[in-house]
A = this chain, B = another copy of it.
Amino acid sequence: MWENIAIPKLSGERYSVTYRISGSEDEARARAIDITLEQTVEFPYELLPRGPIRDEVVGRIESFSRMENSRSEKDGAETTYEAKISFAMETAAGEITQLLNVVFGNISLKDGLRVERIDLCESLYNIFPGPRFGVSGLRGLLGIENRPILGTALKPMGLSSRDLSDLAYRFALGGIDIIKDDHGLTDQKFAPFEERVSLCADAVRKANKESGHKSIYTANVTAPFDELMRRARFAKDAGAGALMIAPGLTGFSAMKTLADDSGLGLPVFSHPAFLGASLNGASALSYFFALGQLQRLSGADAVIYPNYGGRFSISKEQCLEIARGAREPMGRIQSIFPFPGGGMSLEAVSEMHEMYGNDLIYLIGGGLFRRGDDLVENCKYFRSLIDKY
């Protein structure tokens, strides 16, 4: 079958993915071998041509070990193993879409596997440089040296652009650093994109002039494929200080395109909408990978997620996993801000500070409205809680 085929040449550079695999030791080993084929050649091993396709294009198990907290087989409970599998740099084709395909494309359809982490190789770090700003760049842009950063969202859906911009004005006067569209505000007729973004950017500029503080308005550019870049450029021109996108809805590559576009040159905040279904269950991505490493690879400067104790199903440990994924050294890719929210209250600030430290963006939405009718005062109170740090 394969007598006269061309022999592929490979650089020898490899990146690796660590998987958690459920099952007995024999099952887990068989599944690790399956990953090496399924994610690359997708072909019966014994029918593959001999040479570099078998030896280098097929994934390679670099390590395989039983996980420490795994229950014993004698108990009848399922054990878990950790396999680190390396792939030839060339399999990713220099594309974030194809990199994700190798990491978890087909095997997302197989139970009992979880992507724990990725470790890139030198030349992939060149292709995936990560966020434009990161923690230090965003601090520089906002002029905030060391304290935690404050964020809030414009809502509820149904308000007019004018009324949303009035909220934005009051948030900015109250000293909120990042004022973002709620992620459900896109281009509804109540508050069409261009009108809303122009008015909100203007309102924040006006408040900044009055207060001397530097707030930035963040436009949600989550949008259909053929509309997204146009909205991002409009937002930039209108004076938005940052962009928000939900890569679970648009694909991670759209976020990377925003981050890489030097004509835009704006910070990018990632929203987790629609990603939740990938984080739990029989086949899954770890919080560390999905909301930490992958966000950085795809250019986010901050990752929004629900904090524990709010309205969402997430534990303190999972939140800390996200923060580790956002901050842990990762080649030359900068660390980024955790941006937890989701039903947070003003009362949660000190506990969150203890947990996350100063390199954090607090996202408080509805909670700001609960304290009383004077929104500017509520924001100033929120600021006073942060200014101690």
* A145 contacts B by Cβ under 8 Å: no
A287 to chain B, nearest CB (A): 11
Contact residues of A with B, CB < 8 Å?
Answer: 1, 5-6, 8, 34, 38-44, 47-49, 52-53, 57, 90-91, 93-98, 100-102, 104-112, 153, 155-160, 162-163, 182-184, 186-190, 222-228, 246, 248-251, 253-254, 256-257, 272-285, 305-306, 311-314, 342, 365-366, 369-370, 373, 375
A225 lies within 8 A of B254 (CB) = yes
A43 lies within 8 A of B155 (CB) = yes
Chain B neighbourhood of A305, CB < 8 A: 109
Chain B neighbourhood of A312, CB < 8 A: 106, 109-110
Closest B residue to A163 by beta carbon equals B5
A174 to chain B, nearest CB (A): 14
| Interchain Cβ contacts under 8 Å between A and B, 7 examples | A53-B157, A95-B223, A104-B274, A105-B246, A105-B273, A110-B312, A277-B281
A249 lies within 8 A of B105 (CB) = yes
A370 to chain B, nearest CB (A): 7
| A281 touches which of B6, B157, B225, B281 (Cβ 8 Å) | B281
Chain B neighbourhood of A187, CB < 8 A: 93-95, 98
Docked complex Cα distance between A98 and B228 (Å):
12
Chain B neighbourhood of A90, CB < 8 A: 188-190
List the 3 shortest-distance A-B pairs measured between CB atoms, nearest first.
A281-B281, A108-B276, A105-B273
A42 lies within 8 A of B280 (CB) = no
A44 lies within 8 A of B370 (CB) = yes
